[in-house]
Structure formats: C-alpha cells, structure tokens
Amino acid sequence: MDGWFIDAEIAAELNEKIKMRNVRLPIDYEHQSMLSAFNGKPAPAAGWFKNLEWREGEGLFAVDVEWTDKAREMIKTGEYRYLSPVFSYHPETGVITNLLGAGITNTPGLDSIAPLSALKAESATHAAVKTTDPDPFVRLDALMRENREIMVALHAKADEAAKAQREVTAIRQKMRASEIEALIEDALNDVRILPAHVEAARRLASTDVEALKTLLDRPPIFPALLGMQSSRMRDPGGTTNNSGLTTEERRICALTGRTPQQFVELKRTFAAEDSGLTD
C-alpha cells in the first residue's frame, strides 16, 4: 500500500503507547535527532510533548507542547514556521504504528499543515499532525534500527572474541607455569641450582622465561653428584636406582660439597657412634 493511514481508533492506540512511556517525546530542529547518528551533530530539543488529541476531520494534535525559550522566540520571530511529525507505519496496511517525535522546520513534507504562528504559542499549543509523506523518515527509521541491530551483533561477536582470548591466555599461562616447574625440577635434579635458589628462579621466570633458560644452560654446580643421577627413575622408597641416596640426601651433598661416597661414609660413622652410645 502506498502512503499511510490514521483514524480515531489508531490515534487512541498511539496515545496509549505514548502515555506508557516514562519520557516525553522530543521536538527538535530539522529532525536532527534522526540524523545525529550520521552527521555527528548534536540534537537539542526545541520542545517536548506527551498527550495527543484526535480531531475528526482535522487530524492528530499534540496538546501539551512545552517549548524551550529559544524555540518559542524563533517561532515568534518567524525563523521557524512548520512542525513536521516523525512516525512509522506498516508497509502493507499503511497503518501508523508509532509516533517518534517531531521537528520544527521550514521545509516540511506536508501539503496542508498550519504554520506554527497560527497555533497557540502557550503550553497548550496544538501541533497538527495531519498529512505528510513519511517515506524518507520511515526509511531512515528502518536504517537506524538496522544499524542498531548490526551494532548489537558486533558487540556480541566482540564479547565472544574477548572470551576466547581470555581462554587462550589462561591456557598459555598454565602451559608456561608447567614449563617453568619442569625446568626448575630438572635443574634441581641435575644440581644446576640449589633448593635455596628455587623461588628466585620462579620470580625470574615470571618475567623472562628465556633468561631462566639461559641461566640454567650450564654444567652442574657439583659435577660429582651428576653420576648418581644418570637414571631419573626412583624406587618407592624415594631413592635412585644407582646411588642409594634419597633426593634430600643428594641435595645435602650439594650444599655441603661432599661426594655421595663421603656422605655414605659419614652416615656409617654416625650410625656406629649411635650404636656405641646405645651399648
């Protein structure tokens, strides 16, 4: 259907819709509220209204317009002459479905609208909404709705991408932590660092893993201990397959500078002394 249609029943429905809103509808300058998203310019209000009145044979009127001082003066001096409504309607039936607001203008899409100067200037001014060609505004309204839908979809995609990035970051952090602990454990077993150095190694790795790798890329602190660690397999008692010493005993060797043989001899000496004291 070409054009649009309104009657008393449709006007009553529009009035109820507007009353249910928590805000008054705006009257702007030159429909800038509809254009602001495209030209980036502000859209100051010229006035506000909320209540409508249907007049049979005349049309729909806003009966409680509150003009700003600036707009009232511009209308009074003739700088603006007409009030142009903005509404949407059903593309097939032509029934007006929503009143979005209005704008004061000198080039309305109206053939028989009364000039603002002929209407009451006080707050009870009756702004006529009678005949117009709303096609440009309907198309603009549709474009803005489409733009909002696109923006919502883009935000959703951005949220999904951010979530995926957080998950990837968490996985990388876990992998990095596992790599650091493996480096430190290997270095302890090879006596390239001592237990007292572990926390310092972790702090270094938290800022620069490559620096830690470079630091650990060196021979054992006590080469004599390396022979007893040729096999990394431990028995259930916590000893290696070829040394007879526990991990803690090997680290004591590293800290005291003794060889495994010296440590074993020392253990035997202590055991003999303890046995003599017992006897």
Tokens found for residue 245 = 């010493």
CA distance 183 to 213: 8
pLDDT of residue 132: 41
Computed over its alpha carbons, how large is the radius of gyration of the chain? 43
pLDDT of residue 79: 92
The whole-chain average pLDDT of the chain stands at 75
Residue type, 81: R
**What tens digit of pLDDT does each residue of 128-184 get?**
333 344 445 555 566 666 667 777 777 777 778 888 888 888 888 888 888 888 888
**Highest mean pLDDT: which range of 61-75, 79-93, 102-116, 215-229:** 61-75
Cβ atoms of 110 and 131 closer than 8 Å: yes
More confident residue, 26 or 126: 26
Place of tokens 């620096």: 211
More confident residue, 226 or 50: 50
pLDDT of residue 222: 54
pLDDT of residue 125: 36
pLDDT of residue 27: 94
CA distance 5 to 39: 31
Cβ atoms within 10 Å of 96's Cβ, excluding its own: 22
Domain extents in the chain:
8-133, 134-221, 228-279
Cβ atoms within 10 Å of 5's Cβ, excluding its own: 12
Contacts of 49 (CB under 8 A, 6+ apart): 24, 25, 27, 62, 63, 64, 65, 66, 102, 127
- Edge-first strand listing for the sheet containing 52-55: 52-55, 59-62, 127-129
SS3 of residue 109 by DSSP: coil
Q: Is the pLDDT of residue 231 over 50?
A: no
CA distance 177 to 180: 5
- What are the beta bridge partners of residue 85? 102
Average pLDDT over residues 44-65: 89
CA distance 271 to 256: 19
Say what the pTM is. 0.41
- What are the beta bridge partners of residue 88? 98
Contacts of 176 (CB under 8 A, 6+ apart): 209
